[in-house]
Amino acid sequence: MKKSRSVFRTILIPLILILLLETCLLLGGIRASGMVEKLDQNARDILSKQAENRRGYLEGSMVGTWSDLSMLAADINKTTQQMLSRGELSLDEIDSKSDECAQLVLNISDELISTLYSKKVSGIFVVFNTQDLDAGEKSPRTGFYIRDLDPASTPSYRNADLLLERAPIDVVKGLNISTDNAWQPLFNFEDEYPGFLYDPFQAAYQAQELSDARDYGYWNPEPYILPGDDRWAVSYSVPLILEDGTIYGVLGVELLTDYLKSLLPSAELFDDKQGSYLLAVEREEGKYTTVLSTGPILPQNGTGEEFVLEQDGDEGLYFNMEGERYFAAMQPLGLYNTNTPFAAQHWVLFGAVREGRLYSFSGQVLEVLTMVVLLCLAAGLIGSVLVSRRLSAPIRKLSEEVALAQRDRGGLPQLSHTGITEIDRFSGAITDLSREVLDASTKFLRIMEMASVEMGGFELRQNQDLVYVTDNFFPLMGLDGIQVPELTAQRFLELMKERNQTLEHHTSPDGSELYCIPVPRGGVRYLRYEMTQEGERHVGLVEDVTASTLERLRIEHERDYDLLTGLYNRPAFLRTATELFAHPETLKHAAMIMLDLDNLKTTNDRFGHDWGDQYIRRAGQCFAANAPAGTLCARVSGDEFFLLYHGYESREEIREAIHRLREAICSTTLTLPSGEVLHISASGGVAWYPEDSTNMNELTKFADFAMYQVKQSRKGELADFDLGVYSREEFLLQNKREFHQFLEQELVAYFFQPIVSAKTGRAVAYEALMRVDLPTLRSPEAVLRIAREEGKLSEIERMTWYKASEAFSKLQENRLVTNDSLLFLNSIANQCMSQKDWEAYKKKFMLLQPRVVVEITESEHLDQESTQEKRKMLGISGMFALDDYGSGYNSEKNLLELTPQFIKVDISIIRDIDSDRNKQQIVANIVAYAHEREMYIIAEGLETAAEVEKVLDLDVDLLQGYYLARPAAVPPQISQAALELLRSHSGQERK
């Protein structure tokens, strides 16, 4: 029973569920829309686009402006070449003596300073060297290094904003430019040569074949500080190469890292200056080293920091630095041409933002939406409570009034007006219904008192401890002296329980209980008892159904029992046995016995059917009296009985019980009117469960089969079912069933085997051979045997003519055999088609009929009448062949009677004829006989070349056998070996 709820809860809970559903839909919609993911992707796209724009600007400056030193290098090479030509300069000493290079520096200083200003770099330098840097000790080098600390500003007059970092003293005096605090006249290299000198110079110096100096241009990825200075710088340098290939130094530009940082404003990447630019070089796959950085990632110098780049699905690239995870928008810089010495060096510009900061906007949006949803949910909950309370108040008041009216049994309920149309209608209906129920109950009691069928009833309400019963209820139930006014619900249930335990009863098909109550005067009363329950309310009805029950029991007894013997009849036996077989644990070991009374027909014929019935009744009494208790006994037909022994632990126990029954049958007699004593005799078959079968129908069939075998051999005995005998009989029956199916559906096919001319090797005829393919019926011999037993040879004869001719006609239509070929049909010697069938055959096969050869076998007696009828039907063109000549007892007689055009020598004579002189003589004799009378000899069953050669020597006319061709639905070609043998023999005859 469902738990009841108040109206307030009934209204409130659905409203809350709807609110929760709406909330889930809103949150699910936000989630399903992918808004957060789209916002995050938008943030990544903006960052990537900004980094891409900055990369374009930086790459344009580094490639198109700062590293374009070709014209300057050409001017320096020209000036150097001129000084060398005039003898003013010696390359051997230019890298070590300041006075040697001073004049060269003064000559090229204007171009250097001009390039410094035009390219807006923070420094420009020249370092002279003509030696292999990997050989010898590191020594100072001459050169020139000048800086502009504010390259973005307008150049000053007289170069006042420039500082000399490295220059010979004569150059300092000649240029009148201020020197920096860390000025030195030479480049001093103590530990190792800097990358701006070593890498481009050595790349050109060690090249097998020099190319353009621009190919050796080198961006130094390791920021450096000049000795004595504190400013970090990045450089680009190219080797200086004369026209003759002499490398005498490097030319380069410098970019202070502070100046580069000003070109990479991190504030443009993200709000609140949370973005950072990282200029880095890839050392290994996925591993990078920073050249410089801007923004909050590396607030110090930001040089030389290593980090690993990771791919996070479709979200992009990330790296971890100083315990934080950053999203990286990577933009490669194309600084080198392919196939240049430094093409493998990859510079990359990263735009990076801390992951949490990058996705903060989507998080804020999600928080705001979630807060709005929660506020809506809270408002909805408060509203739901108020609405539920307002709607439930009048209903609660109405419920209290109904409860008050229920306690007052004396009158009808008086319900107040609620102002809700539907509820007011409902309360009015309750009042009207109460009035109608009161009237109806009074009427019903009066009707029950007037009814011809004795009936009683009760109503019990456990929650109110009330019981209502009719006056005749307890007398009908056989209970007297019950004080109804003092009866409680608990006491009533106890009384019903006691009656249920003491009275015989069972459940009827309609679900009611049928009680059998003894009455004082003898006999019984049958009561139909039915009760329904609705919650705590029980309503019951009892009805006297004695007359209808007795009538039903009588009908059921007549339905289930044999009137003559008192045993079960067939339907009752089968129904009860089926129930037993559904529970194998009850059957255990069992035996199905089928008994058939012997001599019943004789008794009926001699003494009449009344004494035949006495014979059957006496046998039934014997079976019922001597079968163990629980054994099912039934008379299933006139003189047939079934007995089912079941529930035994072993087969031996059943055999003992059957033996006792057998002895009882033998000792039971019936005294006939003549005074003759007739012993009861019965033949029976026994099928065992579970040894023979576990299926009731099969077990019954097996017992019937065993009984039938006894009736055929030794009456009066009981025999066990024999599966082997049954299988043989079943196989024969299956053969016959398939034979009738074979006839009805004409399930036959015909193969054709060529008959070959011994002279030409050409197939002049084809023999039609029957083929059968059914589960047990597979050979023509079996078909003929059953047809002979069933008297169906005439139908086989007709089928052979029609089906073989149809198949051969189709071969001719498809040009698979020639139109002049003969068709040999195996006809049954003593059978002939009817006149109607012959007429139909000649009409259907008009063109084929003249070439049909009727092949008569010696296995059947040659019937002259059938033969003459066939001759008559075939007409003048009819031809006959005597098949299997030499295999029968009357071969010569049949030959004389038939006078065939073709004689087929039996395979038993042809087999091994090449080695048997007796067989050779027989064939020679029949050949001589046939040729004198213009008959043709066919040697059939040829399987070897020796056999073919020998029958050719004996002048046989036609050949047939596997050696030439096997039978098939479409006749095959003659084998090549046979053709060659025939040609060879024909050639020898001509010689």
Return the HEC string of 160-219. CCEEEEECCHHHHHHHCCCEEEEEECCECCCCCCCHHHHHHHHHHHCCCCCCCHHHHCEE
Fold annotation for 565-721: Alpha-Beta Plaits (3.30.70)
Task: Label residue 502 by pLDDT band (50, 70, 90).
Answer: confident
Question: Does 300 score more than 80 pLDDT?
Answer: no
Looking up tokens 């309503």 gives: 539
Is the pLDDT at 466 greater than 80, yes or no?
no
Residues contacting 620, CB < 8 A, separation 6+: 562, 564, 565, 566, 567, 633, 635, 641
What's the pLDDT at 410? 47
CA 611 to chain centre: 71
Bridge partner residues of 155 (DSSP): none
Contact criterion met (CB below 8 Å) for 915 and 950: no
Give the model's confidence band at 947: pLDDT under 50 very low, under 70 low, under 90 confident, else very high: very high
Residues 308/294, Cβ–Cβ less than 8 Å: no
- Planar angle of CA 944, 948, 954, nearest 5 degrees: 145
Spatial contact of 19 and 381, defined as CB atoms under 8 Å apart: yes
Taking 3-state DSSP, the helix, strand and coil percentages for the chain, each rounded to the nearest 5, stand at: 45, 20, 30
pLDDT at 931: 93
Q: List the chain domain ranges.
A: 47-158+188-360, 451-550, 565-721, 734-990
pLDDT of 940 reads 93
Domain 734-990, what architecture?
A: Alpha-Beta Barrel (3.20)
872-930 pLDDT per residue, tens: 666 545 688 888 887 754 467 777 777 888 999 989 899 999 999 999 999 999 999 99
Q: Which residues make Cβ contacts (< 8 Å) with residue 538, sequence separation at least 6?
A: 458, 459, 460, 461, 462, 531, 532
At which residue do the structure tokens 């050979």 appear?
779
Q: Which range has the worst mean pLDDT, 243-257, 507-521, 681-695? A: 507-521
Q: In the structure, what pLDDT confidence band is assigned to residue 859 with cuts at 50, 70 and 90?
A: low
Convert the pLDDT of each residue in 29-76 to its tens digit.
777 777 777 887 787 888 888 888 988 988 898 888 998 999 999 999
Is the pTM higher than 0.85? no
Percent of the chain with pLDDT over 90: 21
More confident residue, 389 or 593: 593
pLDDT, average across residues 839-845: 89
- pLDDT tops 90 at residue 727: no
Report the pLDDT value the prediction gives residue 124, as an integer from 0 to 100: 96
Burial class (CB in 10 A: 0-12, 13-18, 19+), 503: middle
pLDDT band at 223 (very low <50, low <70, confident <90, very high): very high
- On whether the CB atoms of residues 47 and 351 are closer than 8 A, the answer is yes
Residue 687 has pLDDT above 70, yes or no: yes
Q: How many CA atoms lie within 13 A of 71 on its CB side?
A: 9
Predicted pLDDT of residue 405: 64
The most confident of 80-94, 287-301, 704-718, 727-741, by mean pLDDT: 80-94
**Contact (CB, 8 A) for 546 and 615:** no
pLDDT tens digits along 88-139: 888 887 877 767 788 889 999 999 999 999 999 999 999 998 888 888 778 8
- Percent of the chain at pLDDT > 70 equals 89
- Asked if 477 contacts 517 with a C-beta cutoff of 8 angstroms, the reply is yes
Parallel, antiparallel or unpaired: strands 958-959 and 936-939? parallel
Structure token pair of residue 54: 């900055």
d(CA 474, CA 482): 7
The predicted structure's pLDDT at residue 876: 41
pLDDT at 521 over 80: no
The dotted CATH code for 451-550 is 3.30.450
Q: Tell me what pLDDT residue 1 has.
A: 45
Residue 541 pairs in a beta bridge with 457, 530
